[in-house]
């Protein structure tokens, strides 16, 4: 009878330990998941900023590859179209001019 | 004591009942409304926009791309400064020319009016760019905010306006493509927006364990075109110069690869800036190359000659026995364009001299039936199915409605109408050994991880290879010895033909106004390109040989080295 009482006391204690453990775990995971929301939000904000930056750089690339603007710029810088084209004659080893 | 206890019990019961009734009211009667209100507070739903696809040149660089812009708005109940003061600070960013005092004052008045309006949110300016947004942000004006919106950038400006079209708004305020490629491929370019719904807390931070569901947005496709930017910029620049030089009111240039139908460049004037389409009138948006018809004049002669040679009714060296003077058809007398006549001309001479009487001889030998059949095979009177929005086709007279006069005048390109794209497609048949092709602008449609090749659409053999070669040689002679011989680029293998057409106005032809055209391809035995140049009402000279032809050669001289075309001698 005494032995049974002792066992029952020990069993009761371990149940309380387990309940305590699960409660602590639940609190821990709840805090973790709550902060995960904030992390997610932060990551989304970061992704948005990167997207913005990417868009800005792409935009610069789009504008900088404009052939019209490149032509205007080259004229401003003093480049001009070749006035005459020289065609090489392979067989005669000579050149001809075309205007 | 017992009474007090009973009273207390009654009061408790009453309080309990009140709570029960109240709870019943909130949970049963008002439950649905409160639930909706609560969901509105913790559930977040946003439409995820699909980015519009890019339009790319053949080298992969951009002709049109998606851009970001901002809508500037005001929340009138949040402003702390005087509305006029805010307007004075904002107005310089919203007008084109800050030095224009009148424009500035008008803008300030407009802004004051908007800021003083009642409402929680009032838009002030659409589509401001990043630099303007950052400048306004730096001023830190309370109550002024920004909303990101999608816009479109066209890095080559107006040089490919008619080819590209533009993106405007539909009746629901959504972005929609109009005209050109933007209009034709609007649905695939637009993509499909997605949706993201999830629970979030009071600060807007998502609740990780809450409900969430997401439908991903599908981005619009990219269009890789056949357009060669070098060619496009060149023809646009030359056309503008040509229009100024020859005093024309309109003009167009098309460059096409005859073997595949690939459009290498296409430009028409007047044009507009597709990024600022709203500053231009509707009349500027019409692409004359696909939407406007004209009487082609003498460039049409090569088609009639091709039909006659293919059907075997004439031979290139056959002599015309009516070419010694004007020819009478019914009650009309048909003369040559310069009243010069060449008795016993060969068919080649007829093309070289652009002889109207000679063409009447050819048409009469061909006959109405065959004539109409060939024109239909050349694609006259029906759409070319080019991938551009807004293509139209003039009706062609039905077979039974052709009389001898109509047959005679149509043989030299009068009394028959076609669009420039129909004309270049038909004549490219001669350059392509007799096979007709569908003009195409898009080469590939590119998704995120897939790509669809738009194969060339080669149609039927309209004329035999032999007939095509015979007419090509006639065009070579016409380029060398015809009216435009003075501008011919010696040594280069060019096949070409001029065309000067009078403009029909209210049932008669205008004596002075013409449409001058020149069509040609090079090298004639293995063409890299065929090009059609058209000028409407040139004032320096009405003749194509003095306007359209020199413009054609001016462009071709730059295209020869670009395509590696060398002179023969």
More confident residue, B36 or B313: B313
Judged by a CB distance cut-off of 8 A, whether residue A49 touches chain B is no
> What pLDDT does residue A10 have?
64
pLDDT digits (tens, 9 = 90+) for B265-282: 999 999 999 998 988 888
pLDDT digits (tens, 9 = 90+) for B451-503: 999 999 999 999 999 999 999 999 999 999 988 888 887 789 999 999 999 88
pLDDT digits (tens, 9 = 90+) for B194-235: 988 888 777 777 777 777 788 888 999 999 999 999 999 999
d(CA B267, CA B261): 16
pTM for this entry: 0.84
Could you tell me the pLDDT band of residue B41, with boundaries at 50, 70 and 90? confident
Nearest to B205 among A38, A55, A71 (CB): A38
Distance (Å) from the alpha carbon of A20 to chain B's nearest alpha carbon: 23
Residues of B with Cβ-Cβ distance to A59 under 8 angstroms: 65, 67-68, 130, 153
pLDDT digits (tens, 9 = 90+) for B124-141: 998 888 889 989 989 988
Judged by a CB distance cut-off of 8 A, whether residue B514 touches chain A is no
Residues of A with Cβ-Cβ distance to B566 under 8 angstroms: 87
> What pLDDT does residue A95 have?
56
Judged by a CB distance cut-off of 8 A, whether residue B65 touches chain A is yes
> What pLDDT does residue B335 have?
87
- Alpha helices in B25-129, H assignment, sequence order: 31-42, 83-94, 101-115
Please list the residues that pair with B43 across neighbouring strands. Answer: B199
For residues B368-374, average pLDDT:
94
Task: List the structure tokens of B382.
Answer: 């029906």
Contact status, residue B355 vs residue B411, Cβ threshold 8 Å: no
Q: Angle B420-431/B301-310 helices, nearest 10 degrees?
A: 40
Could you tell me the pLDDT band of residue B377, with boundaries at 50, 70 and 90? very high
Distance (Å) from the alpha carbon of B238 to chain A's nearest alpha carbon: 13
More confident residue, B467 or B1: B467
The half-sphere exposure of B306 on its side-chain side, counting CA atoms within 13 A, is 32
DSSP state of B178: E
For residues B16-35, average pLDDT:
91
> What pLDDT does residue A90 have?
67
Distance (Å) from the alpha carbon of A55 to chain B's nearest alpha carbon: 8
Judged by a CB distance cut-off of 8 A, whether residue A37 touches chain B is yes
Give the pLDDT of chain A (99 residues) as one tens digit per residue.
555 555 556 667 889 999 999 999 999 888 887 778 788 888 888 998 998 888 889 888 998 888 888 888 888 999 888 777 777 776 665 555 554
For residues B101-126, average pLDDT:
87
Contact status, residue A37 vs residue B205, Cβ threshold 8 Å: yes
Distance (Å) from the alpha carbon of B207 to chain A's nearest alpha carbon: 5
Nearest to A36 among B208, B566, B569 (CB): B208
d(CA B347, CA B361): 10
Strands B212-215 and B194-199: antiparallel
> What pLDDT does residue B449 have?
86
SS3 B437: strand
Radius of gyration of chain A from Cα atoms?
40
d(CA B252, CA B290): 11
More confident residue, B422 or B119: B422
Q: What ipTM does this complex have?
A: 0.71
More confident residue, B199 or B430: B430
d(CA B410, CA B415): 6
Decide if B156 and A67 are in contact by the 8 Å CB cutoff. Answer: yes
Residue of chain B minimizing CA distance to A66: B155
CA distances from B401 to B284, B359, B396, B405, B469 (A): 35, 20, 10, 11, 32
d(CA B400, CA A26): 90
Rounded to the nearest integer, the mean pLDDT of chain B is 91
């Amino acid at each position: 009878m005494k032995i049974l009482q002792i066992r029952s006391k020990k069993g009761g204690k371990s149940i309380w330990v387990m309940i305590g453990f699960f409660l602590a775990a639940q609190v821990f995971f709840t805090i973790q998941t709550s902060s995960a929301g904030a992390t997610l939000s932060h990551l989304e904000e970061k992704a948005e900023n990167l997207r913005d930056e990417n868009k800005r750089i792409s935009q610069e690339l789009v504008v900088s590859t404009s052939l019209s603007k490149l032509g205007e710029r080259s004229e401003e810088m003093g480049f001009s179209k070749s006035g005459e084209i020289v065609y090489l004659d392979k067989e005669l080893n000579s050149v001809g001019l075309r205007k | 004591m017992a009474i007090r206890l009973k009273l207390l019990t009654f009061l408790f019961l009453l309080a309990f009942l009140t709570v029960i009734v109240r709870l019943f009211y909130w949970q049963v009667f008002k439950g649905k409304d409160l639930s909706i209100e609560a969901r509105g507070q913790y559930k977040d739903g946003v439409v995820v926009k699909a980015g519009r696809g890019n339009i790319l040149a053949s080298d992969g660089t951009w002709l049109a791309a998606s851009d970001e812009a901002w809508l500037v708005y005001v929340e009138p109940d949040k402003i702390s400064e005087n509305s006029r003061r805010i307007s004075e600070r904002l107005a310089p960013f919203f007008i084109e020319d800050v030095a224009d005092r009148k424009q500035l004052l008008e803008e300030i008045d407009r802004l004051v009016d908007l800021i003083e309006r009642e409402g929680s949110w009032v838009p002030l300016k659409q589509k401001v760019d990043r630099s303007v947004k950052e400048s306004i942000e730096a001023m830190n004006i309370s109550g002024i905010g920004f909303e990101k919106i999608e816009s479109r950038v066209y890095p080559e400006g107006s040089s490919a306006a008619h080819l590209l079209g533009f993106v405007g708004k539909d009746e629901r305020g959504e972005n929609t493509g109009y005209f050109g490629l933007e209009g034709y491929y609007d649905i695939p370019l637009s993509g499909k927006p997605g949706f993201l719904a999830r629970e979030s807390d009071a600060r807007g931070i998502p609740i990780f364990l809450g409900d969430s569901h997401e439908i991903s947005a599908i981005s619009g496709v990219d269009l890789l075109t056949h357009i060669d930017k070098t060619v496009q910029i060149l023809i646009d620049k030359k056309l503008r110069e040509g229009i100024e030089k020859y005093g024309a009111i309109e003009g167009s240039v098309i460059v096409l690869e005859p073997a595949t139908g690939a459009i290498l460049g296409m430009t028409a004037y007047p044009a507009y800036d597709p990024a600022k389409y709203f500053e231009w009138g509707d009349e500027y948006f019409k692409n004359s190359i696909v939407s406007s018809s004209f009487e082609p004049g003498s460039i049409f002669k090569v088609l009639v000659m091709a039909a006659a040679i293919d059907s075997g009714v004439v031979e290139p060296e056959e002599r015309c026995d009516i070419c010694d003077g004007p020819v009478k058809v019914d009650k009309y007398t048909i003369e040559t364009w310069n009243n010069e006549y060449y008795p016993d001309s060969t068919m080649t001479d007829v093309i070289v001299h652009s002889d109207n009487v000679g063409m009447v001889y050819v048409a009469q030998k061909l006959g109405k039936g065959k004539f109409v059949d060939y024109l239909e095979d050349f694609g006259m009177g029906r759409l070319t199915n080019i991938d551009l929005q807004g293509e139209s086709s003039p009706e062609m007279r039905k077979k039974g409605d052709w009389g001898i006069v109509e047959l005679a005048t149509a043989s030299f390109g009068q009394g028959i109408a076609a669009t420039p794209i129909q004309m270049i497609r038909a004549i490219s048949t001669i350059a392509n050994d007799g096979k007709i092709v569908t003009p195409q602008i898009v080469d590939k449609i590119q998704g995120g991880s897939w790509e669809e090749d738009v194969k060339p659409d080669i149609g039927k053999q309209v004329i035999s290879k032999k007939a095509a070669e015979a007419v090509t040689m006639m065009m070579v002679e016409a380029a060398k010895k015809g009216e435009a011989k003075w501008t011919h680029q010696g040594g280069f293998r060019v096949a070409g033909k001029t065309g000067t057409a009078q403009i029909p106005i209210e049932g008669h032809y205008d004596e002075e106004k013409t449409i001058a055209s020149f069509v040609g391809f090079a090298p004639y035995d293995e063409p890299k390109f065929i090009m059609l140049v058209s000028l409407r009402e040139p004032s320096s000279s009405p003749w194509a040989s003095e306007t359209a032809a020199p413009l054609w050669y001016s462009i071709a001289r730059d295209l020869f080295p670009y395509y590696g075309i060398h002179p023969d001698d």
